[in-house]
């Protein structure tokens, strides 16, 4: 049986852990709010981009000489898997879920005889993937220095992916991230980056819903506009994924830290009961000793 002093120390240490997890939960909650706001304010641009892409893509996709970013380079031998995870741990199953989804896909691709290359965004995903696919990891984008994801961060990653595509490093790029649903649920999601997937035809309307039948003039022309938009679209997709990821990470951390705080509370309760019982037992024992000592006289 643990001594009183041991128990006291144990309780003190669990209490300080609880203080930390509680503080982390608060921090995550406020960061989550900020991340959600960022995701919210990024929406107008992405929505408009989608609409224009939809409208233009439909008419251009079938033309010969359409951009490889849109129709692919005619092959699908080599896949680039971009895995976006967090820089820090202590966020529950967040990173594991993304990595697991990516891993499932990678294994399926490998089983089909495809070649797979991996680009990690964030330190945590790399640590987990390295064990299985050490040599397939091309590089890791370190997001450690960025406190809040900006569009320029996403653009840098997208630029890199595009340059690799132009150099023929891969044929198809997919991106893994966690879609934010609520603080409790984040869904590991796969998104195709290159070739750029076109939004559904039924959304293919003008930016401001000008009533469908408005005939546009294009300057310089539809293909040139699309060629200009496609690289931007890749950046926007990456940006959106990073924002979702940031919100998901904070949500997951908040939930994990909340659970940890509650566990610590339970543990403290149990230890306190044990401490009190032990204390009473010690007192009783001392009394018995004194009484039996007195009786012996």
Partner 1 sequence: MAEQIHFELVSPERLLMDVEAAHVIVPGSEGEFGVLPGHAPFMSTLRPGMISVFEDESQPPKKLFLKGGFVEVNAKGIVVLAEDSIDLDTVDAAQLDQDIKNATEDLELAKDALALQRAEAKLAWMGPLRDIIRQA
234 binds partner 1 (CB under 8 A): no
Among 15, 48, 136, 179, binds partner 1 (CB under 8 A): 48
Smallest gap from Cβ 243 to partner 1, in A, equals 9
Q: CB under 8 A: which stretch of 3-11, 45-53, 96-104, 259-267 binds partner 1?
A: 45-53
> CA nearest 93: which of 187, 21, 189?
187
210 binds partner 1 (CB under 8 A): yes
Q: CB under 8 A: which stretch of 104-112, 129-137, 160-168, 272-280 binds partner 1?
A: 160-168
Among 5, 62, 112, 215, binds partner 1 (CB under 8 A): 215
> CA nearest 186: which of 177, 176, 198, 178?
178
CA separation for the pair 70, 61 (Å, rounded): 7
Instruction: Specify the residue for token string 């009394």.
Output: 287
Q: Which is nearer to partner 1, 7 or 39 (CB)?
A: 39
Q: Are 125 and 103 in contact (CB under 8 A)?
A: no
CA separation for the pair 237, 158 (Å, rounded): 9
Active-site hit among 32, 53, 70, 91: 91
* 189 phi, psi to nearest 5 deg: -130, 145
Residue 262 Cα to chain centre, angstroms: 24
Q: Is 91 known to be catalytic?
A: yes
Is 126 exposed, middle or buried (CB count within 10 Å of its CB: 0-12, 13-18, 19+)?
A: buried
214 binds partner 1 (CB under 8 A): yes
Exposure b/e, 149-179, CB count within 10 A at least 16 = b: bebebbbebbebbbebbeeeebbbbbbbbbb
15 binds partner 1 (CB under 8 A): no
Q: Which is nearer to partner 1, 21 or 245 (CB)?
A: 245
145 binds partner 1 (CB under 8 A): no
Largest Cα–Cα distance in the chain? 114
13 binds partner 1 (CB under 8 A): no
168 binds partner 1 (CB under 8 A): no
Q: Which is nearer to partner 1, 149 or 254 (CB)?
A: 149
Kindly list the catalytic residues.
91
Residues engaged in binding partner 1 (CB under 8 A): 38, 41-42, 44-46, 48-49, 52, 150-151, 154-155, 159-160, 163, 166-167, 206-211, 214-220, 224-225, 228-229, 232, 235-236, 239
């Amino acid at each position: 049986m643990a001594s009183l002093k041991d128990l006291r120390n144990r309780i003190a240490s669990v209490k300080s852990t609880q203080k930390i997890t509680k503080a982390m939960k608060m921090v995550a909650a406020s960061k989550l709010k900020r991340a959600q706001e960022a995701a919210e304010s990024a929406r107008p641009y992405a929505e408009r981009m989608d609409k224009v892409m939809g409208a233009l893509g439909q008419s251009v996709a079938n033309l010969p000489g359409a951009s490889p970013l849109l129709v692919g380079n005619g092959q699908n031998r080599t896949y680039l898997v971009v895995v976006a995870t967090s820089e820090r741990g202590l966020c529950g199953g967040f990173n594991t879920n993304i990595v697991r989804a990516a891993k499932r896909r990678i294994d399926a691709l490998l089983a089909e005889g495809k070649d797979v290359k991996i680009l990690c965004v964030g330190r945590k995903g790399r640590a987990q993937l390295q064990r299985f696919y050490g040599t397939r990891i091309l590089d890791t984008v370190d997001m450690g220095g960025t406190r809040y994801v900006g569009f320029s961060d996403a653009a840098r990653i997208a630029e890199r992916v595009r340059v690799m595509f132009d150099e023929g490093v891969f044929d198809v790029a997919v991106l893994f991230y966690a879609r934010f649903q609520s603080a409790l649920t984040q869904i590991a999601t796969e998104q195709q980056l290159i070739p750029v997937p076109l939004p559904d035809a039924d959304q293919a309307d003008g930016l401001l819903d000008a009533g469908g039948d408005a005939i546009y003039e294009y300057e310089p022309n539809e293909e040139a506009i699309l060629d200009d938009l496609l690289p931007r679209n890749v950046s926007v997709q990456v940006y959106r994924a990073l924002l979702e990821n940031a919100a998901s990470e904070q949500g997951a951390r908040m939930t994990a830290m909340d659970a940890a705080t509650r566990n610590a509370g339970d543990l403290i309760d149990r230890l306190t009961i044990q401490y009190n019982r032990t204390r009473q037992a010690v007192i009783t024992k001392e009394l018995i000793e004194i009484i039996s000592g007195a009786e012996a006289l």
